[in-house]
Amino acid sequence: MPFSWPFGRNARRRQLLATPLPELWEPTLHEHVPLYAELPADLRARLIDKARIMVAERIWAGSSGLELTEEMKIVVAAQAVVLLAGDDGYLYERLPAIQLYPKFIRSRPNRHKGDSDTFTVAVGDAWQHGNIRLSWPAVLESAADPHDGENVVFHEMAHHLDGLDGQMGGQPPLATESLRQRWPIVKEECRQLVLDLVHGRRTWLDPYAGESAEEFFAVVTEAFFEVPHELNEHHPELFSVFAELYRVDPREFDRR
């Protein structure tokens, strides 16, 4: 997504990356983000560079009494940059801040799971031109199993990327003519999923993807990075469009 310069071309970033990786990083990744142990060395190093920049440049906040630590930023950023594995152009420069919460988040109604009378209880949410809010326990849980198909950081970051064209409507900025031509495949798969749900048919994708085009995009993004082989098996065309969008084939670093 061509919204900024390639990340290495910025003097301040170069300076940051020229300093040794702070000691906290390796043990934190080892303990909390097992995905990193599976990655090929060159990709792993590149993602750590991006995560360091994200930790340094974004605004981070602990909300509702959560005491924010450096370790928390590392765990969130390390996962967030996985979505940028194939693209050195954008590094969340348009994301104002990341807020972490000790438990759940009170979110706008009808947006995420777990309705209550006046608000929705969510593990995360993302706002157009706004912050990403995440439940810290949910972040940890997502990171602990990199192949269960669910990841709240991937999900909310996907919403953010979706909104980069000015609207969180299920279609992120499409950089190439080929992608623009192929995007109707995604819309058709979304329509088919809703039909399957309406007719009570079992779906391989999480039924939550049928809530809206934007949730479809976020849920498929989770599946694309966490269970790429399975997504490709069940929805090969969808997989192929997402591989073109994210410019990466996560099957290559899925070491299960």
Q: Which stretch binds Zn ion (CB under 5 A): 25-33, 89-97, 218-226, 230-238?
A: 218-226
241 binds Zn ion (CB under 5 A): no
Contacts of 85 (CB under 8 A, 6+ apart): 43, 46, 47, 246, 248, 250
CB of 216 to Zn ion, least distance (A): 10
Q: Report which of 120, 123, 118, 88 is spatially closest to residue 104, judged by C-alpha positions.
A: 123
| Nearer of residues 26 and 148 to Zn ion, judged by Cβ | 148
218 binds Zn ion (CB under 5 A): yes
Q: Taking CB positions, which residue lies at the least distance from Zn ion?
A: 218
Rounded-to-integer distance, Cα 198 and Cα 201, Å: 8
153 binds Zn ion (CB under 5 A): no
232-236: list long-range contacts, CB under 8 Å, 24+ apart: 234/204, 234/205, 235/189, 235/204, 235/205
Ranges within 156-215 binding Zn ion (CB under 5 A):
215
| Nearer of residues 226 and 249 to Zn ion, judged by Cβ | 226
Rounded-to-integer distance, Cα 78 and Cα 67, Å: 19
Rounded-to-integer distance, Cα 134 and Cα 123, Å: 6
243 binds Zn ion (CB under 5 A): no
132 binds Zn ion (CB under 5 A): no
| Nearer of residues 53 and 170 to Zn ion, judged by Cβ | 170
- Eight-state DSSP code of residue 248: -
Structural contact between residues 54 and 17, judged by C-beta atoms closer than 8 angstroms:
no
CB of 136 to Zn ion, least distance (A): 18
**Binding positions for Zn ion, rule: CB under 5 A:** 215, 218
